Amino acid sequence: MMERQKNYTSKDIAIFLAYAIFGIFMFFVPIELGGKSTIPIDHLTNFVKTIPNYNFIFGIFIVTAGIIYAIKTKGWQGSTLNAVFFVLKLTALVFMIMYVTKKGPEKFFEKGMLPLIWNGIMVSVTTIVPIGSVFLAFLTGFGLMEFIGVFMEPVMRPIFKTPGKSAVDAVASFVGSYSLALLITNRVYKEDYYTTKEAAIIATGFSTVSATFMVIVANTLDLMDHWLLYFWLTLFVTFLVTAITTRIFPLSKKPEVYYSGKVKTQEEKPKFSFKDAVDAGMESFKKAKPLPVVIKSNFIDGFKMALNIAPSLLGIGMIGLILAEYTPIFDIIGYIFYPFTLITRMPEPMITAKALALSIAEMLLPAPIVAGANFDIVTRMLVAVVSVSEILFFSASIPCIMGTEIPMKFSDYIIIWIERVILSILITAPILWLIF
């Protein structure tokens, strides 16, 4: 490997450190404000949402603008899948009119239906993505990911078959949100730092819901007394399942081609010294565009992503909840997982399997099914863990991935989801039986 020529000054290092520290603080350091402890980006988003009638007005704007954007960009073109999802996006108009007029089936206005999708998911995600994209510049635009990538390469490459810098995506999901992690992934993918295969692995393997959502699940299932066990077990299971799914179809067959079309070549084994990390980070820092330019570019990307996913979050999310409420489809899907809940000796194998089937519609749906004193702690803990480790669901994460440039087939989402649920059951259940 050729030695990098040192072409940076102490001032460059100071600015690099200032940007990196600020970016890490905004995304990864929980602080307590107003009695709530979360990362600064989340505090900022929550502050924006306190604007009078924000959820109502912004929700109407972003859904309407998102549909106009889909029409302007001819979102139905390219594939049958694009056409189907374009039609599903249009259904968001129906649900938006229902929400605005408060007219429609009474069941739709219950707490866990339209209000959940509108306020808890659609507005929250489409608010945090543009805001997060502004501060994302400090993480992805000035060498920090290249610096971290040198150290994490020996861990990420052999275990997950992804570059070291993908560790940033994984952490961003657990302490921030999958939407922010996907924003990072898409940005880095478009800059030719990830291949299609690597981006697909990262998007479907690391983009989990945040610890905030995990708290909601744990509270619903009365597991807060076991919070640390739940958190670390979920972290372990999620990433172990990801290590396995990278080696099986469909992720194993994804092409090693970059966004630009360039084919990945065999890389020389990199060095991992601190000097190499500094040189890699500073080399990227020196090539970076001015801060205002990077922020503007990131914000435009983030806003476009919000426009892309807003109608999907509302339309597809509500359709998933309606199917769960009024049809037996998820009961039928539950039979896929029944053999696995049965062989792992779950006390209520059929109910547990059906609950886990609901996770494809919305990750919060399985928890209420097995909540209460009627279900033992092993069942509740299993459902809590799998609800997070399965990663893919139609109310939010799948539309978010579809809003990126990462090429994925509809069948990919379904197959990977099934694989993740089955593997999560088989890994989690024996551990729980050892503990409880």
Q: What is the pLDDT of residues 143-177, one digit of tens each?
A: 887 888 787 888 888 999 998 888 877 776 765 56
**What pLDDT is stored for residue 1 in this prediction?**
40
Q: Tell me the HSE value of 175 on the side-chain side, using a 13 A CA sphere.
A: 19
Dist CA 242 CA 296 (whole Å): 33
Query: Is pLDDT at 2 greater than 50 in this prediction?
Result: no
**What pLDDT is stored for residue 346 in this prediction?**
96
Query: Is pLDDT at 5 greater than 60 in this prediction?
Result: no
Report yes or no: 111 and 220 within 8 Å, Cβ to Cβ. Answer: no
Task: Work out the average pLDDT over 112-131.
Answer: 85
Average pLDDT over the chain, rounded to an integer = 87
Higher pLDDT, residue 269 or 363: 363
Question: Percentage of residues in the chain with pLDDT exceeding 90?
Answer: 43
Q: What is the pLDDT of residues 382-396, one digit of tens each?
A: 999 999 999 998 877
What's the alpha-carbon Rg for the chain, to the nearest Å? 22
Dist CA 88 CA 109 (whole Å): 20
Dist CA 405 CA 192 (whole Å): 12
Dist CA 124 CA 117 (whole Å): 10
- Percentages helix, strand, coil for the chain, rounded to the nearest 5? 70, 0, 25
Task: Work out the average pLDDT over 240-261.
Answer: 96
In 288-350, DSSP assigns E strands to: none
DSSP conformation letters of 326-353: H-SHHHHHHHHHHHHHHHTT-SSHHHHH
**What pLDDT is stored for residue 177 in this prediction?**
65
